[in-house]
Structure formats: C-alpha cells, structure tokens
C-alpha cells in the first residue's frame, strides 16, 4: 500500500483542531459545493484518513487518523443529504455548534414544518392553540382574534398566515 500523502505532524495538528472545524472545513470544500464535489472530497479524505489507508501507522498516529476518519464520514453524511445539509446550515447560521446529530438532522425539516404549523415561540404556540380550540368549538370570531394575536409574535409564520386567510374567507362566506 502506498504510504498516505500526509505526514505525522499534519495529522497531529489536524486532530487537535478537529473540534474547531465545521463540516465544510473538514471536507475542505466551499459552502456552495455541489453534491458531486462533496463526494469527491469524501473520497480523497478517506484515502488519507480511512483506517484501511493507515494500517501501517501505529499507536497514537493511527488512533488520530481513525478519529479524523470518523469526522470525515460524519461531515459527508450530513452534507451529501440535502435535508441534513439544510438543517446544518440553519443551525450554523443560528449558533455556535459545529456538529449536528445525523439521525436528527434528517427529521429537522419535519420539526421545521411542525414549528411553522404550530408556532416557534411560546406565545405563538399558545395563541395558535387557542385559535384551533375556538375553531373546533365553532367560535370563528375568537379563532380569528387568536390567530391574529399569534401573528403578532410570529409575523413571518406562513402557517399562521394561511390560517388567518382561510378564516377570513370563511367569515366572508358567512356574512
């Protein structure tokens, strides 16, 4: 097996800063990279860090490669999947975390849709809930009032907006 094209010093240095890198940096790709580019980056990183490529290394160095390899896979796993990638980008834009749970990232869009439907803030959820209850009880006016209240807390919530529109339509139809 040809020796991997990275020396011990580089591996040591990389393994130290691994926790400070985001997935794009780990794979060494642009934020705008295509899926194909991400796959190619995964292949070339695997060639360097995959345990099979480092069988000749021993001790600490081998362990460091193994640890890096797992991160490389994780980064690939998130970035190759459009839903996970979107969830990751959103998370990165919001906060400081450089990693994301891969199993949860898949479902992130479901959560997002749920948030859109039921509200992302406590008050938004509260008033949306009241609106739903009013609607069930046949209190159209109350529902309208409550969804408008919900919208004051979450002005951009598309789910709330469409509910408001729908309720207005129904009110028109009645009157």
Partner 1 sequence: MAEIAVGIDLGTSNTCVSLMREGKVEVLDNVYGERTSASVVHFHEDGSVEVGNSAKAKVIHAPAETVSSAKRLIGRYHFSEEVEKAQAVYAYEIVESANHGVRIEIREEEFSLPEISAMVLREMKQIAERHVGEPVTKAVITVPAYFNDNQRQATKDAGRIAGLEVLRILNEPTAAALAYGFGMGLNQRVAVYDFGGGTFDVSVLEIGKDIFEVLATCGDTFLGGDDLDDRIIDLLADQFVADHGVNPRNDPFAFEKLKLAAENAKKQLSVEEEVHISVANVLTNEDGTALGVEKTLTRAEFAILTHDLIQRTFKVCDEAMQQSDLTVRDLDGVILVGGPTRLSIIREAVEAYFQQPPRQDVDPDEVVSMGAAIHAASLVGKAQDAMLLDVTPLDLRIGVAGGLAEPVIERNTPVPIEQTRTFTTFQDHQESVQIRVYQGDHRMAADNALLGEFEFSGFTKGPRSDVKIDVTFEIDADGIVNVTAADQTTGEAASTQITLSSGLDEQQIEKILEEDVAGRVAAAVVPPESAIPEVAEIVSEPSVLDDDSLFGDGSEDLSVGRPDDLGILESTEDDDVGDAGDLDLLEDEELIQLTEESNANPPTDESPEDNGFFDTSGEDLAGPEIELTEEEK
CB of 102 vs partner 1, minimal distance in Å: 6
How many residues make contact with partner 1 (CB under 8 A)?
25
Any contact of residue 123 with partner 1 (CB under 8 A)? no
Contact 171, 140 (CB under 8 A): yes
From 21, 25, 33, 39, residue interacting with partner 1 (rule: CB under 8 A): 39
Q: Does the footprint of partner 1 cover residue 38 (CB under 8 A)?
A: no
Long-range contacts of 123-129 (CB under 8 A, 24+ apart): 123/149, 123/150, 123/153, 124/150, 124/153, 124/154, 124/157, 124/160, 126/150, 127/153, 128/160, 128/163
Q: Is 23 in the site for partner 1 (CB under 8 A)?
A: no
Q: Is 106 in the site for partner 1 (CB under 8 A)?
A: yes
Lookup: tokens for 14: 């990389």
Query: Least separation, in Å, of the C-beta of 76 and partner 1?
Result: 6
- Kindly tell me which residue out of 1, 9, 93, 173 binds partner 1, with binding defined by CB under 8 A: 1
């Amino acid at each position: 097996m040809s020796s991997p094209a990275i020396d011990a010093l580089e591996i040591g240095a990389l393994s130290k800063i691994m926790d400070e890198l985001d997935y794009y940096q780990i794979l060494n790709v642009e934020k705008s990279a295509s899926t194909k580019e991400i796959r190619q980056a995964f292949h070339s990183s695997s060639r360097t860090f995959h345990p099979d490529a480092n069988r000749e290394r021993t001790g600490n160095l081998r362990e460091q490669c193994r640890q890096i390899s797992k991160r490389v896979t994780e980064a690939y796993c998130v970035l190759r999947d459009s839903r996970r990638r979107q969830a990751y980008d959103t998370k990165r834009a919001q906060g400081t975390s450089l990693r994301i749970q891969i199993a949860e990232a898949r479902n992130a869009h479901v959560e997002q849709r749920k948030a859109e439907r039921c509200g992302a803030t406590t008050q938004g959820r509260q008033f949306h809930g009241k609106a739903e209850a009013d609607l069930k009880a046949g209190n159209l006016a109350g529902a309208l009032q409550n969804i408008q209240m919900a919208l004051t807390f979450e002005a951009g919530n598309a789910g709330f907006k469409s509910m408001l529109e729908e309720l207005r339509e129904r009110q028109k139809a009645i009157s």
